[in-house]
Structure 1
Amino acid sequence: MDLTNRRGIITGAGQGIGQALALEFAAKGAHLLLVGRTEATLQKTADLVKEAGGTSDILVQDLGQADGAQNVADAVKSWDTIDLLVNNAGNVRAGRLEESTAAEATAMIDLNLTAPVLLTQALLPQLRTSGAANGSLILNISSEIALVAMPFYAVYAATKSGLAAFGEAMRRELHGTGVHVATVYPGATDTEMMSSQNADWTRRPVSDVVAQVMTGLASDEHEINASAPDGRGMQELNASNPLAVDAAMAPGLADMEAAVKDHNSI
């Protein structure tokens, strides 16, 4: 896949993986709409995009709101080309399900799953047009938790698994149209989103994760596992014998709950 001179949207672009992806595409001549909730962080990304060789506009928008996807679509409706959509924005609240609030669960569902579905739906006509001409890309940032669902992350796991399944279905629906759909599965990554989580999990540098994503895209990969290599064994075991994973996790449940109880980016 030719990743140069892309024209498109990156959500959650103010920090972390979203910001790093924006800079990678900027270095290849992209023009981007940077979407996020905080103007200051988006402006910082925009400045870095310019330094990297790209151009950008910013849109301050909470995609968890009912009109969020449509507002993004309206912001780019005059663009001649849209050949990139990165569904990256997300949030997390860990803890026992019965101790979570309905508002916390809804916030994760709305931002992590509903927003990417509605944003893809709204932009798909333009992505199809660009795809038929020169190829376009929908990139969904799921999570390793879609491969191994972790206790105390039930709603987050549901949203990221849903996003992965959405990408798989859309890849098949769009087969032959020139619209390439890829899903990324990062593991624990050293981002601001992870700052309130204290579990002893290997955190990959953002640069390593994003470098792997760009290499995978350039090789036309559709499923990019960007988790730490030391977790692959657990993923394989979960696919073949999930009850063995249950048994392996059981002795450490209390410690895990204590380590993740304050993990909250909502």
Structure 2
Amino acid sequence: MTTHDLSNRTAVVTGAASGIGAATAVALARSGAKVVLLARRADRLAELAAGITAEGGQALPFAADVTRDFDTAPIRDAFGRVDMVVNAAGVMLVNPFTDSRTDEWARMLDTNLAGLLRVTDTFRPDLVEAAQEGPADLVNVSSIGAHLTLPTFAVYSATKAAVTHLSANLRTELGPLGVRVTNVEPGVVDTELSQHIDNPELVAQLPAVFAGVQPLSAEEVADAIGYITSLPRNVNLPQVVIQPTSQF
């Protein structure tokens, strides 16, 4: 994994218990940032924090649910002001729309969209203040699913399309205040997202849907995020699509 210069930066990474979130936390810590690991699974966070610390990095495990309000005082007490937020928390629940899985719709809306809004708003004052002195970054992890039309993916894709559009609009408000906003849209990535699907028939079909595609690793997406946030403060990559060479 490539390292970048992120010394003196403090990042909050949501979804840090696994996948892109966990890999991003490691990448940022290896590049010198202090990293707050925010997710629900406290045991996973403790293990990840221990690994980062063993490598000489700084990490704070912070068990919280992005769909609920949470107290940020422990974060600021430990690491001070935050100047980077990576919204990587997300769930992918796919079923035919005609199945009326309102439970899944609510969970995806609450996590993928409302949770992202909540976290962004919570740390927005920090980012705006930090931007007056140095780089400040808001990175939202969307998906190329935001642009695709696939059966059973309607609601998931809708939440990601909302994140993509939200990111573009947030840039019009936060950019003039010095905060860089980047929307990252990964293609097929080897993470546990597919394990969220509770329809055995659909799970069995996934290999055929992505036949011939060598997935990205979470670390490869994390490396891109490390690069994006290490750029000079006057350089903003607002939209980054990263996908396997073999995916069309």
Alignment partner, residue 153 of structure 1: 153
Alignment partner, residue 241 of structure 2: 225
Please give the alpha-carbon distance, in whole angstroms, between the structure 2 residues aligned to 1:217 and 1:150: 32
Please give the alpha-carbon distance, in whole angstroms, between the structure 2 residues aligned to 1:53 and 1:141: 27
Tell me the TM-score normalised to structure 1 length: 0.79
Alignment partner, residue 143 of structure 2: 143
Q: Secondary structure at the match of 2:132?
A: helix
Q: Which moved more, 1:15-24 or 1:45-54?
A: 45-54
2:44 to 41, 46, 49: 41
| Identical aligned residues as a percent | 26
Please give the alpha-carbon distance, in whole angstroms, between the structure 2 residues aligned to 1:149 and 1:44: 38
1:215 to 224, 227, 247: 227
The Cα shift of 1:77 comes to 4.7
Task: Give 1:225's aligned amino acid.
Answer: V
Task: Give 2:80's aligned amino acid.
Answer: D
Please give the alpha-carbon distance, in whole angstroms, between the structure 1 residues aligned to 2:81 and 2:42: 25
Alignment partner, residue 96 of structure 1: 96
Please give the alpha-carbon distance, in whole angstroms, between the structure 2 residues aligned to 1:72 and 1:224: 31
Report how many residues are paired. 228
Q: Secondary structure at the match of 1:133?
A: coil
> Contact between 1:213 and 1:224, CA under 8 Å: does it hold in 2?
no
1:86-235 to 2 correspondences below 5 Å: 86-195=86-195, 197=203, 198-200=206-208, 201=210, 202=213, 203-219=215-231, 220-232=236-248
Instruction: Determine if the alignment matches structure 1 residue 3 to structure 2 residue 6.
Output: yes
Please give the alpha-carbon distance, in whole angstroms, between the structure 2 residues aligned to 1:113 and 1:72: 20
Instruction: Determine if the alignment matches structure 1 residue 28 to structure 2 residue 31.
Output: yes
> Contact between 2:109 and 2:159, CA under 8 Å: does it hold in 1?
yes
> Contact between 1:28 and 1:53, CA under 8 Å: does it hold in 2?
no
The Cα shift of 1:43 comes to 1.1
The Cα shift of 1:141 comes to 0.4
1:15 to 13, 18, 21: 18
The Cα shift of 1:120 comes to 0.8
Q: Secondary structure at the match of 1:47?
A: helix
Please give the alpha-carbon distance, in whole angstroms, between the structure 2 residues aligned to 1:190 and 1:100: 28
Alignment partner, residue 245 of structure 1: none
Q: Secondary structure at the match of 1:81?
A: coil
The Cα shift of 1:2 comes to 5.6
1:51 to 29, 51, 54: 54
Please give the alpha-carbon distance, in whole angstroms, between the structure 1 residues aligned to 2:10 and 2:112: 23
Q: Which moved more, 1:71-80 or 1:91-100?
A: 71-80
Please give the alpha-carbon distance, in whole angstroms, between the structure 2 residues aligned to 1:206 and 1:84: 19
Please give the alpha-carbon distance, in whole angstroms, between the structure 2 residues aligned to 1:120 and 1:15: 20
Please give the alpha-carbon distance, in whole angstroms, between the structure 1 residues aligned to 2:71 and 2:245: 36
The Cα shift of 1:72 comes to 5.0
More helix by proportion, 1 or 2? Answer: 1
The Cα shift of 1:42 comes to 0.8
Cα deviations by residue, 1:78-136 (Å, 9 ceiling, x for unpaired): 45321011111111111101214211110000000001112111211111001111121
The Cα shift of 1:35 comes to 1.1
Q: Rate the CA distance shift 1:107–1:75 in 2: closer, same or farther, 3 A.
A: farther
> Contact between 2:6 and 2:32, CA under 8 Å: does it hold in 1?
no
Where in structure 1 do 4 or more consecutive aligned residues deviate above 6 Å?
Answer: none
The Cα shift of 1:228 comes to 1.7
Q: Which runs of 5+ in 2 are unaligned?
A: 198-202
Please give the alpha-carbon distance, in whole angstroms, between the structure 1 residues aligned to 2:149 and 2:52: 35
Please give the alpha-carbon distance, in whole angstroms, between the structure 2 residues aligned to 1:33 and 1:218: 18
Task: Say what the alpha-carbon RMSD is for the aligned residues.
Answer: 2.0
